[in-house]
């Protein structure tokens, strides 16, 4: 009897193993998928099985990336009904229905195929789509059911977001409640049907973010999407379907678009194989102007303005008191009431996210002139626009009542890079000598230092004396400013990696139109850096000023910026204490050169970890001088009404009153020093008793335990006296009163143990009270060859 039991058990185990091995990417009606077993797509991209999210012990049936070491779930079947143990089983019955059950044979989740099946098969595709199809060679692409029609929080390439009007199927994504619970959260996204469909993210039942209507090329609220080397976008709008879809141009790229409940954002990620991590490619809301209806009816949001809301021309705030208190919810009303019996004119607005569409009417057969006449004949019509700017301005959309949720794109008139390249190349071929002469004359600008309106010897006119690059060369070096070459976002625009024809790598900083940096700031940066030569300052190689383009070319720093090391869990261990101390001292020497030893005395005004670049030996170089100012005389500095820089590093007297001096740079250095020591950011730092890193460090200091501030990765370092001295110096640099802060020459002496250190006084905490991050706010839109939507508004006369 015992022998028979042993044989039976052995056969049972063997059969189970054979069953697991037999399961590849598909499953037929005679098979089941139990907890602990998985299906893997044919190419090994995705895996289907049971999992427990986060810290939860509940079990869910889901799909995740097979080759991504960080388990990233893209679809969940039983989102709202978890299985409490390991008894889950998935089967496909003879009608083609999927049935997920638990130990007591009760069904947890099931599907219904679109039609009856003869010989159904369940298959996991390399796209991440789980499909039920007939097990027949001639019907491999005919799906009776597919998971792509029932998305969770993730939109994958080739998934449709939107409607099948033939069946009434509405494909929407919805966020997880949290990392432990995949049940639907507050955020949901889908294509909302109206006269003019668009993609809308809702928070609960309220509109949260809106894409703007499709204008034939892209969504009017996302003009950067169309020109993109990584993604292709499609919006289908016909009698059978209305949907949005994106596809990847390269099969080597892994990407996903996720609704995130925790951050209330929709985020697009790309997997970087070299770093073995997900990188955030883009997210919405990008800024305040993406918040739905921020400025109220007939209000216009412009992120480059302060405040961001203003009334459209011909309108005024409905409540001046509310408007002045930055409550724009009541919106704007007309200066003069429209009279239908009088003749009216129109005002044209370009570069806008088109208004919301519930009160709109679309006619795809009209041209723009017919659209205008149609609006004039309807007393309730207040604006019109082309519904398709791709096909020579065909189609008509009319708006009635208030215009809601409009934003302005300051880059709307930026000339397309591709067109500029063609023009430059053609002109150069025909009259190269004239072009070179023209550019040479144009770029030999005269120098006059910006010193608060005072003429000084330091501000006398001098030549830039820099190599000039043409736009065609820079465009070729950066692959036409490809997003793949983007290194990051500088204070005034994106920065790209480039490779010149001789193989030399460069960093290319482009000035975006909405950056707030005009010609004066640009010339300022060019002239300043051209005259600065120090091993701890980034070297400027040249510039390009062509048509509307303003571009700086720097030496390339292969290790990127300091913040990409010290705030990254995987890279921070590459900076031991000796390297960090070398960086601290190098930045200090660079600042001393700017303040005291350079030909021009410079206040940087935007010193922070992202503006400290690292060469191949991890030596620091200060970069980004677009906000720098020349000063003369004593160290009392000057006053400005235009406060620029980054609030997390900004001295309190500068943030409050516009007073800047060498001591405001010293304050920024103190923040940077404390961040390097602790590995923590000053802004966004959370602690129950302190709102930022300064308060955290100050509490440890006053309680006699300053070494607890040190990054745990540095605990094995034996040079504790040097660390303690750096903490002491950092707190001296961030003292509330600028008179109490040391100069950079004193800082260097103190860092090297060549000077006695006084007891630090109370630090400045003003940055805690200031909302936002950068000043002036800047859009993350990348330079791109795009067409923008225009709207024509009826004007009262």
Q: What is the pLDDT of residues 237-259, one digit of tens each?
A: 888 999 999 988 777 788 899 99
Same domain, 224 and 254: yes
**pLDDT over 70 (residue 767):** no
Question: Taking a C-beta distance cutoff of 8 angstroms, is the pair 394, 374 a contact?
Answer: no
Domain around 606 = 563-775
Is 626 domain-assigned?
yes
For residues 388 and 523, state if they share a domain.
Answer: no
Q: Is 606 tagged catalytic? A: yes
What mean pLDDT is predicted for residues 215-239?
76
Residues 523, 517: contact at Cβ < 8 Å? Answer: no
Domain of 51: which CATH number? 2.90.10.10
The whole-chain average pLDDT of the chain stands at: 80
Q: Is the pLDDT of residue 5 over 70?
A: no
Q: Which of 150, 180, 206 is the last residue of a domain?
A: 150
By mean pLDDT, which of 134-143, 312-321, 415-424, 503-512 is the weakest? 415-424
**pLDDT of 431 above 70:** no
Q: Which residue has the higher pLDDT, 571 or 216?
A: 571
> Does residue 14 or residue 564 have the better pLDDT?
564
| CB-CB contact of 62 with 52 (8 Å) | no
E strand or H helix that includes residue 323: helix 320-324
Report yes or no on 783 lying in a domain: no
- In the three-class reduction of DSSP (H, G, I as helix; E, B as strand; rest coil), residue 194 is classed as coil
The more confident residue out of 768 and 412 is 412
For the entire predicted model, the pTM comes to 0.54
Q: In sequence order, what DSSP letters do the residues of 482-511 get, joined into one string?
A: -GGGEEEE-SSSEEEEEE-TTS-EEEEEE-
Q: Judge whether residue 437 has pLDDT over 50.
A: no
pLDDT of the residue at 391: 65
For residue 334, count CB atoms less than 10 angstroms from its CB and return exposed for 0-12, middle for 13-18, buried for 19 or more.
middle
- Higher-confidence residue of 635 and 134: namely 134
Q: Provide mean pLDDT across the span 17-32.
A: 69
- Domain shared by 547 and 580, yes or no: no
If pLDDT is split at 50, 70 and 90, which confidence band does 184 have?
A: very high
Q: Is residue 270 pLDDT above 50, yes or no?
A: yes
- Tokens describing residue 670: 């103190």
Q: Compute the distance between CA of residue 290 and CA of residue 209 in angstroms, rounded to an integer.
A: 6
129 pLDDT higher than 90: yes
Is residue 311 packed enough to be buried (19+ CB in 10 Å), middle (13-18) or exposed (0-12)?
buried
Asked if the structure places residue 429 within a domain, the reply is no
Same domain, yes or no, for 275 and 190? yes
pLDDT above 70 as % of the chain: 78
Range with lowest mean pLDDT among 2-11, 540-549, 590-599, 711-720: 2-11
- What mean pLDDT do residues 228-233 have? 71
Task: Provide the pLDDT for residue 274.
Answer: 63
Residue 418 lies in a domain: no
Which one is catalytic: 149, 290, 356, 606?
A: 606
- Res 464: pLDDT: 54
Domain count, the chain: 5
| Closest of 658, 647, 561 to residue 611, by C-alpha | 561
Residue among 669, 606, 603 nearest 636 (CA):
603
Q: In terms of domains, do 355 and 305 share one?
A: yes
Of 524, 555, 586, the last residue of a domain is 555
Q: In which band, very low, low, confident or very high, does the pLDDT at 480 lie, cut at 50, 70 and 90? A: confident
Q: Mean of the pLDDT values across residues 62-67?
A: 95
Residues 174 and 144 in one domain: no
Q: How far apart are CA 571 and CA 673, in angstroms?
A: 18
Residue 492 lies in a domain: yes
Q: Is the pLDDT of residue 40 over 90?
A: yes
Q: What is the mean pLDDT of residues 437-446?
A: 35
Asked if 172 contacts 190 with a C-beta cutoff of 8 angstroms, the reply is: yes
- Find the Cα–Cα–Cα–Cα dihedral 209, 210, 211, 216, rounded to 10°: 180
Distance CA 357, CA 368 (A): 18
**Residue 780 falls within a domain, yes or no?**
no
What does the pLDDT read at residue 117?
81
Quick check: 235 and 243 in contact, CB under 8 A?
A: yes
Tell me: do 590 and 641 sit in the same domain. Answer: yes
Residues 18 and 60 in one domain: yes
Neighbours of 2 (CB within 10 A): 6
Whether residues 308 and 389 fall in one domain? yes
Q: Which of 194-208, 335-349, 699-713 has the lowest mean pLDDT?
A: 335-349
Residues 218, 72 within the same domain: no
> Does residue 785 form part of some domain?
no
The pLDDT of residue 93 is: 92
Distance between alpha carbon 308 and the CA centroid of its chain, in Å? 19
Q: Is the confidence at residue 232, as pLDDT, over 60?
A: yes
Domain annotation covers residue 144 = yes
Band the pLDDT of 142: cuts 50, 70, 90: confident
Burial of 756 (0-12, 13-18, 19+ CB in 10 A): exposed
Are 648 and 658 in a shared domain?
yes
- Give the pLDDT band (50/70/90) at residue 97: very high
pLDDT-derived band at 746 (thresholds 50, 70, 90) equals very high
pLDDT at 754: 85
DSSP annotation of 758: P
Length of the chain measured in residues: 797
pLDDT at 430: 30
Q: 267 and 393: one domain?
A: no
Tokens for 511, please give them. 């000035």
Which of 724, 648, 752, 736 lies closest to 744, judged by CA? 752
Q: How many CB atoms lie within 10 A of CB 199?
A: 23
Q: Which of 79-93, 148-162, 255-269, 636-650 has the lowest mean pLDDT?
A: 636-650
Task: Return the percentage of the chain with pLDDT > 90, whole number.
Answer: 39
Q: Of 227-236, 303-312, 578-587, where does the model show the most confidence?
A: 578-587
Q: Which of 84, 116, 150 is the last residue of a domain?
A: 150
In angstroms, rounded to a whole number, what is the distance separating the alpha carbons of residues 154 and 278? 14
């Amino acid at each position: 009897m015992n022998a028979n039991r042993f044989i039976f058990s052995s056969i049972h185990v063997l059969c189970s193993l054979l069953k697991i091995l037999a399961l590849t990417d598909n499953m037929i009606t005679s098979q089941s998928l139990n907890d602990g077993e998985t299906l893997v797509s044919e190419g090994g991209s995705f895996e289907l099985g049971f999992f427990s999210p986060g810290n939860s012990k509940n079990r869910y049936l889901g799909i995740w990336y097979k080759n991504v070491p960080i388990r990233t779930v893209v679809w969940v079947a039983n989102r709202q009904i978890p299985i409490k143990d390991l008894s889950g089983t998935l089967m496909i019955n003879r009608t083609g229905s999927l049935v997920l059950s638990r130990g007591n044979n009760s069904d947890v989740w099931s599907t219904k195929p679109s039609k009856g099946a003869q010989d159904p098969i369940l298959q996991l595709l390399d796209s991440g789509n789980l499909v039920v199809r007939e097990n027949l060679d001639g019907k491999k692409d005919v799906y009776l059911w597919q998971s792509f029609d029932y998305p969770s929080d993730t939109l994958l390439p080739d998934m449709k977001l939107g409607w099948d009007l033939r069946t009434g199927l509405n494909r929407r994504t919805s966020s997880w409640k949290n990392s432990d619970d995949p049940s639907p959260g507050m955020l949901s996204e889908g294509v909302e049907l109206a006269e003019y469909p668009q993609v809308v993210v809702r928070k609960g039942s309220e509109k949260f973010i809106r894409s703007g209507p499709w204008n034939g090329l892209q969504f009017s609220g996302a003009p950067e999407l169309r020109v993109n080397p990584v993604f292709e976008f499609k919006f289908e709008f016909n009698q059978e379907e209305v949907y949005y879809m994106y596809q990847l141009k390269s099969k080597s790229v892994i990407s996903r678009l996720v609704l995130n409940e925790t951050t209330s954002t929709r985020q697009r990620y790309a997997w970087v194989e070299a770093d073995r991590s997900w990188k955030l490619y883009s997210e919405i809301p990008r800024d305040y102007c993406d918040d739905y209806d921020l400025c109220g009816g007939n209000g216009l949001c412009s992120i480059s303005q302060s405040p961001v809301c203003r009334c459209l021309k011909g309108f005024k705030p409905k409540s001046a008191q509310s408007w002045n208190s930055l409550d724009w919810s009541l919106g704007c009303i007309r200066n003069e009431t429209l009279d239908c019996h009088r003749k009216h004119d129109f005002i044209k607005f370009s570069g806008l996210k088109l208004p919301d569409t519930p009160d709109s009417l679309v006619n795809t057969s009209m041209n723009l002139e017919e659209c205008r006449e149609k609006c004039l004949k309807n007393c309730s019509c207040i604006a019109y626009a082309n519904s398709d700017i791709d096909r020579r301005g065909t189609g008509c959309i009319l708006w009635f009542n208030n215009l809601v949720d409009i934003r302005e794109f300051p880059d709307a008139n930026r000339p397309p890079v591709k067109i500029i390249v063609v023009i430059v190349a053609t002109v150069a071929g025909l009259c190269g000598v004239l072009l070179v002469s023209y550019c040479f004359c144009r770029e030999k600008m005269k120098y006059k230092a910006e010193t608060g309106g005072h003429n000084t010897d330091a501000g006398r006119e001098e030549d830039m004396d820099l190599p000039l690059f043409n736009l065609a060369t820079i465009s070729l070096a950066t692959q036409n400013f490809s997003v793949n070459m983007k290194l990051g976002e500088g204070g005034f625009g994106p920065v790209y990696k480039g490779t010149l024809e001789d193989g030399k790598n460069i960093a290319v900083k482009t000035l975006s139109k909405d950056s707030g940096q005009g010609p004066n700031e640009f010339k300022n940066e060019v002239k300043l850096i051209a005259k600065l030569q120090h091993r701890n300052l980034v070297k400027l190689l040249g510039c390009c000023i062509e048509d509307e383009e303003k571009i700086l070319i720097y030496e390339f720093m292969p290790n990127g910026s300091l913040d990409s090391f010290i705030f990254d869990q995987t890279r921070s261990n590459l900076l031991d204490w000796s390297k960090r101390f070398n960086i601290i001292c190098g930045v200090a020497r660079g600042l001393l050169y700017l303040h005291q030893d350079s030909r021009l005395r410079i206040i940087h005004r935007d010193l922070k970890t992202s503006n400290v670049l690292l060469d191949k030996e991890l030596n620091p170089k200060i970069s980004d001088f677009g906000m720098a100012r020349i000063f003369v005389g004593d160290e009392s500095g000057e006053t400005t009404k235009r406060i620029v820089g980054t609030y997390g590093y900004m001295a309190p007297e500068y943030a409050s009153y516009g007073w800047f001096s060498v001591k405001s740079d010293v304050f920024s250095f103190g923040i940077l020093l404390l961040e390097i020591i602790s590995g923590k950011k000053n802004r966004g730092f959370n602690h129950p008793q302190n709102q930022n890193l300064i308060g955290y460090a100050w509490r440890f200091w006053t309680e006699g335990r300053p070494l607890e501030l040190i990054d745990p990765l540095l605990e094995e370092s034996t040079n504790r006296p040097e660390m303690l001295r750096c903490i002491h110096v950092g707190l001296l640099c961030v003292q509330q009163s600028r008179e109490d802060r040391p100069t950079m020459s004193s800082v260097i002496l103190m860092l090297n143990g060549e000077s006695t250190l006084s007891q630090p006084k109370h630090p400045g905490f003003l940055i805690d009270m200031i909302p936002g991050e950068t000043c002036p706010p800047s859009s993350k839109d990348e330079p791109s060859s795009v067409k923008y939507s225009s709207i024509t508004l009826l004007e009262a006369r």
